[in-house]
Amino acid sequence: MSPHLCAFKAAFRTASRPSSGNAQRSFVKLPMERPMNEETLPHYKKEQFYPVHVGDWFNDRYRVTGKLGFEAYSTSWLCQDLGNQSYVVLKVSTSPRNFPTATDREFNIYKHLTTIESDHPGQSIIRELYDSFEIRDHAGKPVSHLKTDNLMLSLEDNTMLADFADSETMQPSPRKKIDESHTIYQSRPFRRPSKGKSFGLPTLCDFGEARIGNVHESGPFVQPNIYRAPEIIFEMPWGSAVDIWNLGALMWDLFEGHHLFGDIFDEKGNHDPFRHLALMVA
């Protein structure tokens, strides 16, 4: 079965069932002093991230099998959907107090996309919602049940998903335990498909900084450092043109194997807008 996207909004609590399966197997304990995954984000705070654990159950249906990755406003996990014996991707939103609108922003973008009727060929590579709910105390509240078509249709080798889950069971991901309820897992990469098969088409699935409308004003974090368009660096009003800039910079990365504007950080590792602009006009 092809995986669908499950976007979940979460209030902070422990999961409804204890971890199981690979809980007794040994794993590498990472040093507490070394930042990893979401801890490397510039505005990271532990309290913003819901403490998901491998083996947890959500909504009495989705069992977490491994961590796929993280974003500024969510973490992503591969889950078994016991409702139809398939795999889904679970996105758990953060709750940043300093950016309260960020919690629902991506969810609202997904809802907006379901209202658009389009025959554009790119429609098929935009990941859509399959299910969503809030987690409060020990109950899951369904929010909406939306379209399930056009989701990762280009994934040629579905055995990758089962292999991913099996790998996590046999060789649990390295992790570090922050406290009794919070553990940070190292993201597990997918094993490359067998010869002659590919990962499929790139799919848009991170809408944490997406906006609806023609013109916006925001801070520089609407784009990653290496892909920031000039108007974003200058913090000017911006529109869809910044997406074209993103696309061009990304295509360069994919074909050339390095960033078009890579040397854009100062001695402390912070983004240097002056150095970035100098590279653009050099």
CA 189 – CA 11 distance, rounded (Å): 27
DSSP string, 61-121: TEEEEEEEEEETTEEEEEEEETTTTEEEEEEEE---TT-TTHHHHHHHHHHHHHT-----G
**Cα–Cα distance for residue pair 265/267, rounded to 1 Å:** 7
DSSP string covering 257-271, please?
A: SS-TT---B-TTS-B
Does residue 157 have an active-site annotation?
Answer: yes
Q: How far apart are the first and last CA of the chain?
A: 50
Catalytic residue among 104, 157, 206, 272: 157
SS3 breakdown of the chain: % helix, strand, coil, rounded to 5? 25, 20, 50
Where in the sequence numbering do the catalytic residues fall?
157
